[in-house]
Chains A and B, each alone.
Chain A
Amino acid sequence: MTAREFHADQDIVREGDRPWQSCLLVDGFLQRYKMLSDGKRQIMSFHVPGDIPDLENLHLQIMDHSLATVTASRVALISHDALRALTHAHPRIGDLFWRATLIDAAIFREWIVNVGSRDAHSRIAHLICELYLRLKAVGLTNGYTFEAPITQSEIGEATGLSTVHVNRSIQRLRSEGLITLEKARCTITDWDRLEEAATFDPTYLHQRPAAGDMLHADGMSSVPKTHPAPPL
């Protein structure tokens, strides 16, 4: 494992690369993106410390997107050989890596809903809710305050909105008393109403066993039914 420092907005791996190592984000903020032929950029996910965004390259040989820093970041680079040796010696770790990539996929699904169906105001509220919970899970929040060193332009690239529209939407969230945002520091001032504005349901983050899940003796889990069965 080697540690490496990257400055802001720097590529770690590029689309088309065939990496032989994966990177664990130690400190900072990362983004996955794709450049379009007209020079526009689509950001497909953000990553917080603790994430290994390119774990999938253990099995997928070629990068189909790029991974870069948002802000100056420190990463630990782990060779695929080392990862393979680790998972062969400890299969449970392989399971955890698998689970991590599945959660990544769940987040992508939610981003599809975000970009496909939510209005501008809800999209940004949703992103804020997600970032807050992901940073909270790794101890990087202070109450409802967190540092999110993402520019309005980058928020736009992540939500499919123009910078002007991102600006307007943030103003509206502020004027509705849902958030304060000073430079890179965001404070959620009304979590319940922000969640509502975002139509946010944290289930897709799979952060802890879902409340109400029961593990039976045979290892099968069941979720008690909370909704009535649909009419016949």
Chain B
Amino acid sequence: MPVYHFNVRDGANIPDPDATELPDLRAARVEAVKLAGRLLMDEPDTFWEGSDWHLEVTEDSGIALFRLDFTATDAVTAAL
């Protein structure tokens, strides 16, 4: 089974040295969404305190496959 790495960049991240075997790319996409959801749920402060939160999935060789980005956009902008 192919091997994937799930790397979160959240300012306090741990790259994924132990890769995970999954059946195919579709499974990796599903796992990525689940993982991102759960990480955000467990550490909401990390998301708000950081500047950029994304989860990148690569093949074992390191080639990037896809990326999930999470951003917050404040409604009030510029000068009041």
Please report A residues at the B interface, Cβ cutoff 8 Å. Answer: 119-121, 161-165, 167-168, 171-172, 175
Contacts and interface: CB of A to CB of B under 8 A. Distances in A.
A164 B18 CA distance: 9
Decide if the interface of chain A is mainly helix, strand, loop or mixed.
Answer: helix
Given A119-B42, A120-B38, A121-B42, A162 B16 contact: no
A16 B39 CA distance: 37
B17 interface: yes
Contacts of B24: none
B16 to A, nearest CB: 7
B20 A167 contact: yes
Contacts of A121: 42
B20 A164 contact: yes
A168 B16 contact: yes
14 contacts: A120-B38, A162-B34, A162-B35, A162-B38, A165-B39, A167-B16, A167-B18, A168-B8, A168-B14, A168-B16, A168-B35, A168-B39, A171-B17, A175-B14
Contacts of A171: 14, 16-18
